[in-house]
Structure 1
Amino acid sequence: MPAAPIAHAEDLAAFVDASPSSYHAATEVARRLQDAGFVALDETQAWPHEPGRYLVVRDGALIAWVVPSAATTTTPVRVFGAHTDSPGFKLKPQPTTGRLGWLQAGVEVYGGPLLNSWLDRELRLAGRLVLDDGTEVLADSGPLLRLPQLAIHLDREANERFALDKQAHTQPVWGLGAPESADLLGELAGSAGVDAARIRGYDLVTADSARGAVFGREDAFFAAGRLDDLASVHAGTVAMSALGSDLDSDHIPVLAVFDHEEIGSATRSGAAGPFLEDVLERIGLALGADRGERMRALASSWCVSSDVGHSVHPNYPGKHDPQVRPVLGSGPILKINANQRYSTDGVGAAAWHGWCEAAGVTSQEFVSNNTVPCGSTIGPITATRLGIRTVDVGIPILSMHSARELAGTSDLYDLTRVAERFFRG
């Protein structure tokens, strides 16, 4: 494996480690882009009218853009979209529970995690704390929790049949003692350096604490938690960071990373909410565009919706299309569905293959087996909300929605190369 893809994967490992929650992910993207010269804006303030590089954060989502000096009222946008959240567990109200001498955390299933993959792992609890004065503070417990599996001696049929009750079997342990003598939120407050008595609200999720790693023959594999969809968020961030302030372009590059994709996107920071539309409208207003000019700009714009897809699984080949079988290490994927669960059409496919060719990257195609229901992405939502021509892409992985997912090292690097080509035009 060449050095560049490995270095890229190691940087992704650091990015994932810094992003145990969507709020941490948005903060880490903002930090990296600000280091690259982007200016953070506040939605409650007036925005500048000058060309430049800007970003805005809304909860666990972020949008960044570059306005070239040649931009006009009808300059189109090129949006690279992804999402910051991942399946797992979210902390419930009154979260300090337990029995029989064990301290446990009351959690609720978030999205569609592969439940058994969360067993016997050291888990972090991370997210935001909201204090009595409205201040939002990021918190990360580090390795604190574990979902211990029942021993084979106590369930001799575990290897023949295995199912977890989403309530009874998914409450992780985090210590020993009586619940009335402990305070899980106090543990989080201590890690964030705040007084637990000041906490008035919180959004906290579990995350695998193990760091991502390159491994396998010729370093072909990369495994980490939350690759769905931090792999795409990282690719877009690296590509956007590479754009200089003197960008000579006939379009406006936009990075849009949304929250809550795993639960339907219907939130103020999700793709079904108004965030992207709000930002694009304010960009147009700053350029002096009226509504007609903004509509003209959108009509010639593009969105690349990037999310992970399924690699063919060597142990379950019957779950995949018999002909279209993407595999790790053979390039990013173009995602296609006849019922528009993915937004790709013939025009989008042609454009994607053109960007890949310009970047020197080989692409694969993905389509589901007719008997296996197809998931969806932010792509159809974005296309529906804004009317922007949208194409769905990503990287192939195994173990999707597991606590630790598997990608191809070279695919991660290649997706970033295509993202940068897309941004540059």
Structure 2
Amino acid sequence: MSAHPGIDRGHTDDLMSFLRASPSPYHAVANTAERLEKAGFRQVEETAAWDGAAGGRYVLRGGAIIAWYVPEDATPSTPYRIVGAHTDSPNLRVKPIPDTGAHGWRQIAVEIYGGALLNTWLDRDLGLSGRITLRDGSSHLVTVDRPLLRVPQLAVHLDRSVNTDGLKLDKQRHMTPIWGLGSAEEGDLIRFVAEETGVAAEDVTGWDLMVHSVEPPAYLGRDRELVAGPRMDNLLSVHAGTAALTAVAARPELPYIPVLAAFDHEENGSQSDTGADGPLLGNVLERSVYARGGGYEDRARAFAGTVCLSSDTGHAVHPNYAERHEPGHHPRPNGGPILKVNVNQRYATDGSGRAVFVAACERAGVPWQSFVSHNAMPCGTTIGPITAARHGIATVDIGVAILSMHSARELCGAQDPRLLAKALTAFLEG
């Protein structure tokens, strides 16, 4: 098999392993924490007193993680350099009463999470992941990474117009997965999950469960210059941000305090205690200032000099739908990270932020591209404007250009994840 001559696959191979091991936001933060621990970071509890000593720390709450590294010569007013991302992806999530079914089929009741591309979940082998909570308050990760569920599509013989009039899916009636034969009472999903996790079913009092495609990430194309895989939006950025933060930690001189902020619930508005519109990031940054002996004035000075790169995936030009893209801005795979701009503040980038991003790319020797939406098409958004407005922090929206965004399986250039990580590393170095 031939190989694309310009692709260094080490980073992308590691990304593929990270995607495979992170079927839910809870897995993603656990795997991120493990990587941080290996780099010398230590977890601090939000309920404990914090000290201002130099070194790497992280806070883990639910599906969110905030990590930062305090250099030896940091002062209370030292600004931050933040890489922002999110851990959640659109999918199907299990309802509070999960067991259902009809006509001899056992099924699982699900809610649609985020803006899922529904048809991509049809006729696909699905596993189950997330977390369960026990009576004592402890949580345990759930990983059933084998074919367990399936959302079967109606046969073409029973929907003769599907290829002419298009597929029409009702979220309530048509997206319920099957997982066996029998009555709903025989299903007992939570007992099954408890057994798979090695805990007593009667001790399980809460759960946050979701389905995921069990098909592993893979290189694609004649020269393997593309990567197909799940949850690239936005674990690709979480992985790159973690690599960048661990790369700059413990370097002798850092003019800023580098931070990774990976939030949950971006796909449904970020309004939660673990979302970008919650107080978690602000609390962590402020407590770090105060732990180093600072006061409100130091906090204000630190925030005024802080810059955040909101790193999320964006749209590569689609060869079959090029008319849906802005004609002068066609991001392409393996062309480097994209700078996302929207004058109506769906993205937070302005000219000053553009200069910061370009400087980081130039220091890293990384090419970059521009993205703006077609004027006749609505523009999506990210944690960028939320971070800027909530904390008064200068924010720039960037990312990697992909196809099939919000599909159960997305597509990007095999070189772009590494290029993003290099640019983020240069940004955190200042």
Q: Give the TM-score band, short-chain normalised.
A: over 0.9
Instruction: Give, in angstroms, the shift of residue 182 of structure 1.
Output: 2.4
1:52 matched to 2:85: no
> Any conservation in 1 of the 2:54–2:69 contact (CA below 8 Å)?
yes
* Whole-Å separation in 1 of the counterparts to 2:292 and 2:103: 64
Please give the secondary structure, in 1, of the residue aligned with 2:88: coil
SS of aligned partner of 1:141 = strand
* Residue correspondence of structure 1 range 95-244 to structure 2 within 5 A: 95-143=98-146, 144-160=148-164, 161-244=166-249
Structure-2-length-normalised TM-score: 0.97
1: CA distance, partners of 2:37 / 2:353: 32
Which runs of no fewer than 5 residues in structure 2 stay unpaired?
A: none
Quote the offset at 1:245 in angstroms: 2.4
Report the CA distance between 1:13 and its aligned residue.
1.1
In the TM superposition, what is the alpha-carbon distance from 1:4 to its structure 2 partner?
A: 6.1
Runs of 4+ in structure 1 off by over 6 angstroms are: none
Within a 5 Å distance, the mapping from 1:12-411 to structure 2 comes to: 12-143=15-146, 144-160=148-164, 161-411=166-416
Do the aligned residues in 2 keep the contact of 1:6 with 1:214 (CA within 8 Å)? no
Rounded to whole Å, the distance in 2 between the matches of 1:386 and 1:93 is 35
Structure-2 separation of matches of 1:56 and 1:2: 40
Q: Partner letter of residue 37 of structure 1? A: G
Moved more, 346-355 or 216-225: 216-225
The farther-off stretch of 210-219 and 11-20 is: 210-219
CA contact (8 A) 1:9 1:214 kept: no
After superposition, what is the alpha-carbon deviation per residue over 1:115-143, rounded to whole angstroms, capped at 9, x for unaligned?
00111111121111011111111111223
- What 5-or-longer segments of structure 1 have no aligned partner? none
Shift of 1:338: 1.0
How far apart in 2 are the matches of 1:4 and 1:80? 24
Moved more, 133-142 or 264-273: 133-142
2: distance between equivalents of 1:242 and 1:373?
Answer: 37
Per-residue deviation, residues 394-419 of structure 1 (Å, max 9, x unmatched): 00000000000001111111000011
Deviation, 1:299, is: 0.5
* Alignment: residue pair count: 425
Q: CA RMSD in A?
A: 1.1
Cα displacement (A) at 1:109: 0.5
Provide the identity percentage.
51
